[in-house]
Amino acid sequence: MQHENPFLRPVNQPVDFQSVTAESVKQAVSETLTEADHQAAEFLKTEGLRFDTVLTPLDTLYRTVFRVFNPVYLLAETHPEASVRDACRSAIETFSDYLNNLAIREDIYRVVRSYSSTADAEALTGYRKRYLDETVLGYKRAGFELDSRDRERLKNIRNDLDKLCLAFQKNTAESTGFIDLDPEDCDGLPQDFIGSRLADGKIRVDLTGPSYFPFMKYSQNDAARKDLWLKYNNRAFPDNLSLLDEILLKRQELAALLGYPTYADYALEDRMAGSPEAVWKFEDDLAETVREKARADYRALQEMKSELTGVPAQTVSEWEAAWLSNQIRERKYSVNDQEVKQYFELNQVLDGIFQICRKSLGLVFTESAEKSVWQEEVRQFTVSDLKTGREVGLFYLDLFPRENKYSHAAMFPLVGGGATEAGYERPAAALVCNFPKPTESQPSLLLFSDVNTLFHEFGHLLHGMVTRSPLQAFAGTNVLMDFVETPSQFFENFLFDYPTLTLFARHWQTGDVFPESLFNRIVAARNLGSGMATQGQIFYGTFDFTLHNRFQPGGSQTTTDILRELKPRVTLFPYTEGSHFHASFGHLCGYAAGYYSYLWAKVYAQDIWSVFEKAGALDEATGRRFREVILEPGGTEDPLNLVKKFLGRDPNPEAFLRDLGV
């Protein structure tokens, strides 16, 4: 394989993103799949069935595809040029088709099956046994107990699903909408928010995160909030609802073909939860636990609305909730977001994260003087081990919003890490965010919620960066889905430790350290709305799980009917007619029958954090043990065993419930 193409690079050489063109994407796809075909052909010549001659080459084959597929996937969501994004989306379809075909190749399956019955396979332990077991289960789930006709049908279903989800995500990313307001209709909005959106005498508020969420939180204009809320909750409507119908039908067809009652039964087979019954019990028990706290939260919103309007409030609408909650924070707890964000200049926050990682996890972050990135504002960093100086990995930061860019925050893996003939290939990843851009008068100042988002995504990044897995299949965040959110939610906790916060939270103009009195008020207000917020998470999880476990696609009920039924049952808000949040609920693609995993994983995250609380948030020995026991293994071990090993006991939900204030 030649290396002139930016994607086709040697081990541990970064992608030359700056050189990427639509043509180089197409060439990379062609040459990568040619190389993969060559590796598959060599695999089939295997003589002597051993782990190193069967499963190691199989993992290498997948690595060959993913080390190009992953960067292409990132650029489909972030590249500023439409031609490159389109080429990447086309490439994603091609790669997905190839991977779906690879998963059902009978010639490769026969080699693995033959190996699985050997004495060498019987003697496997640790990650090697885990990889064999998961590979064999994967072939079962790929349809190898079906006849050739049904297996071909299954392949076509998977290909169709990939295309449908890609279209769903594209429609969401490209959905547009906005409201234009006169300056006199902008009471409550911060001046920097108004100033950055002023054009031709109007204030334009669009549906991107840095625009939508602050508006809903600060605007006193109830009619404008409702208007924007409806637009936001109708992104990609109606196109994505028909796509969703097709997706659900295809998933149910897939499950039925493989002999599972529902898609949820299929999806849960290889997760921690294990069965739909376990998920329903988790959701239902938690809903009961937080119900009284949620009602108290709702009453607090009613009281604030009554106080502000002078009229007893019987109900609170969804587009009022964020604004009323912020009024309570300001009036009852004296927490003003505009005051708080003066202490969270973006670069200082990043420096704080780097200090936490250095002190607790023994990691050093160095910004690259020379970089090759897909957009000029993107930054590039290397990660090294503090004690040995060993380079651990590489990551990119794409921090600010722009047109046609992925509109939320996420960690995109680029290279998973793993052993190769040329040595260990270090992981690479990108953090894609949408924080406020600096202006002429001030730097990028982050709301506390923005800082929390950055810490969350950095937890994912760390999970990917410090992997020591020999196999790419288990590297970094390649863990069971209902554990993947544990490190990210764990890392958020550092924000609520005052000594840690003082490392970096300083007023951007005066340099004053974040006041302890303000911190204490933030902590006091931490559980404001926690019951309703948890109900919201339970609703998302229940909606997702209902569609995949208790809903008949193509029947008399529609997905909107399910939304209409579940919203008032699970939350304290009625369904708002004419709203279709599920048309842009992207987790229905990536987390199918899996949204419950956020709360599921948080139980483990808070239990792990309880150890840090006792030892000290930045205790070096505890941090190093967390890195070695929880992060570095990736998917090489059962995550429940990792948690037990770190805790020295069985996990329990006590810290999680205490964190919710229930």
In contact, 181 and 221? CB cutoff 8 Å: yes
Helix (H) or strand (E) holding 556: none
From 457, 516, 577, 620, the catalytic residue: 457
**Structure tokens given for 400:** 């600010």
CB-side exposure of 276: number of CA atoms within 13 Å? 18
Q: CA–CA separation, 59 vs 119, rounded Å? A: 21
Task: Give which of 21, 11, 84 is closest to 422, Cα–Cα.
Answer: 11
Nearest-5° Cα angle at 628, 623 to 632: 120
Q: Quote the tokens at residue 233.
A: 């909750």
Of 216, 301, 333, 329, residue with least CA distance to 535: 301
* Region of 529 on the Ramachandran plot (φ > 0 left; ψ -120 to 50 alpha; else beta): left
The SS3 call for residue 396 is strand
Residue type, 516: E
Quick one: which of 232, 241, 230 has its CA closest to 211?
A: 232
How far apart are the C-alpha atoms of 596 and 582, rounded to whole Å? 16
CA pseudo-torsion sign 322, 328, 333, 334:
positive
Q: Which residues touch 184 (CB under 8 Å, ≥6 apart)?
A: none
- CA dist 63 and 43 (Å) reads 14
- How far apart (Å, rounded) are the C-alpha atoms in residues 265 and 483? 18
Is 457 part of the annotated catalytic residue set? yes
Residue that the structure tokens 């190839």 belong to? 98
Alpha helices in 310-409 (DSSP H): 318-332, 337-340, 346-356
Q: Give the C-alpha separation, 102 to 88, whole Å.
A: 20
Residues 530, 557 contacting (CB under 8 angstroms)? no
CB 174 within 8 A of CB 208: no
Residues in the chain: 662
Active-site residue set: 457
